[in-house]
Structure 1
Amino acid sequence: MAARRITKSSINWQAMLDRVHPEQQSYFVAFKAKADNYLRRVMANPAALPKIDWAHYKKSVPVAGMVDTFQKQYESIQIPYPPDTMTASVEAQEKEVMAEVKKFVAESNTRITEYQKELDHLNSLLPINQMTMEDYKDAYPELALDGEKRPTFWPHTPEEQPGMEQRGEGSAH
């Protein structure tokens, strides 16, 4: 596999920065500076091995066959480019995560619709400080005092009603 020369970063740094928590942005900027420095150092090197004037060395070196041996070894140098073994698994993981994200967005939109209905209902009611007891009973029938169906004793708290045990008193040890 021939090595390919990377000429431009495929990372959208601005999109990544938009997702970084504000308290972590200084770390992200430092990371980006290191990545840019590394890319500059790599780009400073030539894409191919430098050409050598073998004829000049054959004239200058008195040992017969030495330059030919070096030339043969130099031209046979193959620097292996590491194989890409992770892209397929990352892309599969990305598909799974995107499916989960779409599901979460759909569920969230459903919840938003339900909450908006509740909010619209609450906004349609009279403000609490302007309600009468009858208005309160109409708006919140499960919470309002109902002397006919659920009679209670003053002060109308659950602890003061018949059948409620006092906390901490009369309990078996």
Structure 2
Amino acid sequence: MAAKKLSTVSLADLVKRVPKNQMKQFEKFRDKTLEYHRRVNQLPAKLPFIDWDYYRSNVRQEYVNMVSQFQCDYEELDCTFDMRHELNDLSKYYEELEKLTEKVKEEVRQYIEESNSRIQSYEAELKRLRSLVPYEEMTMEQFVTEREDLAEYIPRQGKALFWPHDPSEQRVGPASPDFDKNLTKNVKGKGEVKT
């Protein structure tokens, strides 16, 4: 994939996209940008000319090679700045961005599917709850029959819930079989029934 060319965006176009709650941050960004442009525009278009022959003639003989190296580096400096976009391969960043974009799109698609399935289950639960007899009109037996998931939260306090009060009728209760063992005691002659 070829490297994408950079394009300029004017601050006037950017300000149209900035939300109202982020205007202060945008103004700071704009001020820094304008300050940077002002400082860069003060610099000359080309690097200043240096008389390398003068330096070669005025340094000791062992430093002449150093001046030649400085001259090469100085001439490459301007050329390097002009060619910086060709020298740097920016395509790897765009590839990473595209991979990240695909990953985020997949996560969003998965989240939407999970949300839709949750919505369907919630709608089914709402439909079931609307079909129930209102709680104010229910008896305790109807409530435990209709809402078996909540039956274990009814405070039984060791007493039987349903008539007739014998163990075979006490079918609905907590999920833990040891729950009633801790609460009930079979005391003969007192009329309590062990469930």
Normalising by structure 1, we get a TM-score of 0.51
Q: Tell me which residue corresponds to 1:160.
A: 183
What do the CA deviations read for 1:135-173 (whole angstroms, capped 9, x no partner)? 324422462855534369xxxx7331369xxxxxxxxxx
Q: Tell me which residue corresponds to 2:114.
A: 107
Q: How many residues align?
A: 131
Q: Against the structure 1 CA distance between its residues 4 and 160, is the aligned structure 2 distance closer, same or farther, given a 3 Å change threshold?
A: closer
Cα deviation for residue 114 of structure 1 reads: 0.3
The 5 Å alignment of 1:113-128 reads 113-128=120-135
For residues 151 and 138 of structure 1, the distance between their equivalents in structure 2, rounded to whole angstroms, comes to: 10
For residues 34 and 110 of structure 1, the distance between their equivalents in structure 2, rounded to whole angstroms, comes to: 45
1:40 and 2:34 matched: yes
Kindly report the root-mean-square deviation, in angstroms, between the aligned alpha carbons of the 2 structures.
4.5
Cα deviation for residue 132 of structure 1 reads: 1.9
Select 1:96's aligned residue among 92, 103, 106: 103
Cα deviation for residue 5 of structure 1 reads: 5.5
Which SS does the other structure have where 2:78 is aligned?
coil
Amino acid at match of 1:130: E
1:77 and 2:78 matched: yes
Cα deviation for residue 133 of structure 1 reads: 2.9
Normalising by structure 2, we get a TM-score of 0.47
For residues 136 and 103 of structure 1, the distance between their equivalents in structure 2, rounded to whole angstroms, comes to: 37
Amino acid at match of 1:8: S
The 5 Å alignment of 1:123-134 reads 123-134=130-141
What do the CA deviations read for 1:44-69 (whole angstroms, capped 9, x no partner)? 455xx648xxxxxxxxxxx9x99xxx
Q: Which has the larger radius of gyration?
A: 2
For residues 122 and 41 of structure 1, the distance between their equivalents in structure 2, rounded to whole angstroms, comes to: 65
- What fraction of aligned residue pairs are identical, expressed as a percent? 18
Amino acid at match of 1:133: M
Cα deviation for residue 6 of structure 1 reads: 1.9
Q: Which moved more, 1:111-120 or 1:33-42?
A: 33-42
What do the CA deviations read for 1:82-107 (whole angstroms, capped 9, x no partner)? 54242210221111121011111111
What runs of 5+ residues in structure 1 fail to find an aligned partner?
18-24, 52-62, 67-72, 164-173
